[in-house]
Amino acid sequence: MTPEASTDTLRRHDSPSIDPNAPSVLIGYETNLQGFAGFDLRKHRRFRPGSPSIQIPLTTVETALQDGLSFTKKGNDEIAIGFRPDQFLSYVLNAQVLHSEGADAKMLQLLSKAAALQPITRKEMSQLPKERRRILTMVARLSRDSSFARKVIVAYDRRCAVTRMQLRLIDAAHILPVDAKDSNDEVNNGLCLTPTYHRAYDRSLIYLDEDLVMRVNPAKEQALIALGLDGGLADFKNNLDRRIHLPADHNQWPSPGLIRKANQVRNIPRN
* Each residue's pLDDT tens digit, 94-147: 888 888 887 778 888 888 888 777 788 888 888 888 888 888 888 877 777 777
Out of 8-17, 20-29, 36-45, 221-230, least confident range: 8-17
Q: Tell whether the model's pLDDT for residue 20 goes beyond 80.
A: no
* C-alpha pair distances (Å), 126 with each of 106, 116, 130, 139: 13, 20, 9, 17
- Which of the pair, 185 or 208, is modelled with greater confidence? 208
DSSP 8-state class, residue 210: T
Angle, to 10 degrees, between the axis of helix 130-155 and the axis of helix 105-115? 20
| 205-226 mean pLDDT | 92
| 12-18 mean pLDDT | 47
* Burial (Cβ within 10 Å: 0-12, 13-18, ≥19) of residue 40: buried
Cα–Cα distance, 76 to 158 (Å, whole number) = 42
How sure is the predictor about 264, in pLDDT bands with cuts at 50, 70 and 90?
Answer: very high
Say how many residues make up the chain. Answer: 271
How sure is the predictor about 154, in pLDDT bands with cuts at 50, 70 and 90?
Answer: confident
pTM over 0.85: no
How sure is the predictor about 241, in pLDDT bands with cuts at 50, 70 and 90?
Answer: very high
Phi, psi at 104, each rounded to 5°:
-80, 130
Let me know the angle formed at the C-alpha of 91 by 88 and 92, rounded to the nearest 5 degrees: 85
pLDDT, position 5: 30
